[in-house]
Amino acid sequence: MQAENSTKNINLIATMPLFEGVPLNVLHWVNERCEIVRVFAGQTLLDPARHNDAVYIIISGFAQVRNPGQDDQALAYLMEGQCVGEMSVIDGGQPSARVVADTDCRLLVIESGTLWELIGMAPMVARNLMRTLSSRLRYDNEVILESLRMQRAFEHDARVDPLTGMHNRRWLCEMLDRQIQRCNISGEALSILMLDVDHFKHYNDTHGHLAGDCALQAVAQAIRGGLRVADTTARFGGEEFVALFPGVDLAAAHGIAEQLRQAVREHPVRDFQGRPLPGVTVSIGLTALAPGQDRDQLLNAVDAALYRAKHAGRDRISE
């Protein structure tokens, strides 16, 4: 940093938000006690690894608040009239972030001892400082809330299939692990079905992939309409869907599966303009959790049952 040799401008200091409402005699005192320095673009003003003992008010130029981590990403930009360093002066701790001059800057430097004297002389400075800190906290809260919103959106996208709105395979596997653990403890039955749209590749090849998407949406709607609130459904991948039936034995699950098979067969398929498309049928594999089975073994068992249903002619249920 280089100190300026020119006369400090009291009128300029008076325009800074920190000095709003401060008497002129106090501004003269600040002019005498505080130095205006020049820093060049790229110079570091604050660093978490370095003790700070001053507040810096930007008179001209811009600065960046950067992530102290390895990526050194810019978190915020500071402009004329804004100050930095006040937190570490107030609490005596290290700076929480790195602040770097984005352009050549002129800074008013208020040493910590001078700041406390100034607050004693002019309580308006404390009021203005509280406003600054309050706006920082408000901004930080908004950033946190936006970060949480984005996190929830990412979590949602990671577990929900965007085409059908059903949960996806990742979510199902997590849920299945919990259901198996619960049923092993309680001794409750757990049935599972795996459903596959018959001749789906031919449907896509004949009517187009957009029509295939509409058919998958129709299947998902039919499945959702035929299940209890306690039942769990997911798009397992491609044209395969899975449903879990906690507390339902294999015989009762077979009845539910038959209702779903009929519901899909009867459910209309329409394109995105509402025009009718050919309907589809499904093959269903069905099984129940056996003692000692884990998630992969249960999925392999129901997949084998699905293969038998398809091998037997499709549009049917196999256990």
pTM above the 0.75 mark?
A: no
Sign of CA dihedral 182, 184, 187, 190: positive
Q: Is 239 a catalytic residue?
A: yes
Query: What pLDDT, in 10s, does the model give residues 131-185?
Result: 887 777 776 677 667 777 777 767 666 778 889 999 999 999 989 999 999 888 8
Rounded CA-CA distance 265/307 in Å is: 19
How many separate domains does the chain show? 2
Lowest mean pLDDT among 6-10, 88-92, 164-168: 6-10
**Which domain-ending residue is among 150, 177, 208?**
150
φ/ψ region of 73 (left if φ > 0, alpha if ψ in -120 to 50, else beta) reads: beta
Rounded CA-CA distance 304/287 in Å is: 9
Asked if the model's pLDDT at residue 5 lies above 50, the reply is: no
| Catalytic entry in 239, 240, 266, 319 | 239
Asked if the model's pLDDT at residue 6 lies above 50, the reply is: no
Rounded CA-CA distance 184/293 in Å is: 9
- Residue 160 within a domain: no
Q: What are the structure tokens assigned to 245, written together?
A: 């039936």
> Which CATH number fits the domain that encloses residue 204?
3.30.70.270
Query: What pLDDT, in 10s, does the model give residues 110-122?
Result: 999 999 998 898 8
Amino acid letter at 156? H
φ/ψ region of 259 (left if φ > 0, alpha if ψ in -120 to 50, else beta) reads: alpha
Query: What pLDDT, in 10s, does the model give residues 52-71?
Result: 999 999 999 999 988 776 56
Please state, as a whole number, how many other Cβ atoms lie within 10 Å of the Cβ of residue 95. 21
- Residue 68 within a domain: yes
Lowest mean pLDDT among 34-43, 70-79, 109-118, 211-220: 70-79
**Which domain-ending residue is among 150, 180, 196?**
150
Provide the residue range defining the domain that includes 313. 169-318
Asked if the model's pLDDT at residue 226 lies above 90, the reply is: no
Rounded CA-CA distance 255/192 in Å is: 13
Rg (CA), the chain: 33
Same domain flag for 188 and 55: no
Residue where the block lists tokens 């998407």:
213
